[in-house]
Amino acid sequence: MSDFDAVKIGLVSVSDRASSGVYQDQGIPALQAWLARAIKNPITWATRLIPDDAPGISATLIELVDAEHCDLVLTTGGTGPAPRDVTPEATLAVAHKEMPGFGEQMRQISLRFVPTAILSRQVAVIRGKALVINLPGQPKSIAETLEGLPSASPPAHGIFAAVPYCIDLIGGPYLETDEAVCKAFRPKSAVRVRP
């Protein structure tokens, strides 16, 4: 029995080719590996590998939030400018609130590496009591955007530092992180003191 709140996390890899078996999906394993290192809470996973299809993506997000009761849903893939890249549109279609700061910060981090980061269109939204975030498709970029670039000059905050407090504010479980991987930021008044 853990002292930490249980959390349910939905992971969605959006890829025509991976979902049809042309190649093996790398997004979900990369997300699970990073989150398992970063989060101290017991995690239940709900994973989906689906094609680049806006109605299907929206339906999957609705299912994970409304039926599966995920507290956090992370998508990977389908955020570029190509005709089949429709993950942001499908995510916004099911949103109750948009959280633009997440996409802005992901692009800032990626711009440290490639000028084409401005072509990425990741969004984050709230649906009910869940936070839904579109992440890049490459495992290296996933880790960089979640964790940030703490040793860069100047350092860049990763987006996951803000995720636990966001989930607090929308009524979800209290997420605790391994500070060696990602230090969650909360105002002092929101920090839960352990006995």
User: What is the CATH number for 110?
Assistant: 3.40.980.10
**Torsion angle (degrees, nearest 10) of CA 106, 103, 20, 95:** 150
Q: What's the pLDDT at 195?
A: 67
Residue 117: CB atoms within 10 A of its CB come to 17
pLDDT at position 1 is 54
71 located within any domain: yes
Q: Is the pLDDT of residue 123 over 80?
A: yes
Q: How many domains does the chain have?
A: 1
Query: Would the pLDDT of 20 be above 80?
Result: yes
Question: Which domain range does residue 50 map to?
Answer: 7-190
pLDDT of residue 179: 94
Is 38 among the domain residues? yes
Query: Is residue 76 pLDDT above 90, yes or no?
Result: yes
Tell whether 142 is covered by a domain.
yes
Sign of CA dihedral 119, 62, 13, 151: positive
Residue 2 included in any domain:
no
Mean pLDDT to the nearest integer, 52-74? 98
Two tokens, residue 138: 């490459």
State pTM to two decimals.
Answer: 0.95
CA dihedral 153, 114, 142, 95 (to 10 degrees): 110
pLDDT, residue 18, reads: 87
- Does residue 117 sit within a domain? yes
- 1 found inside a domain: no
| Residue at 195 is within a domain | no
- Inside any domain, residue 108: yes
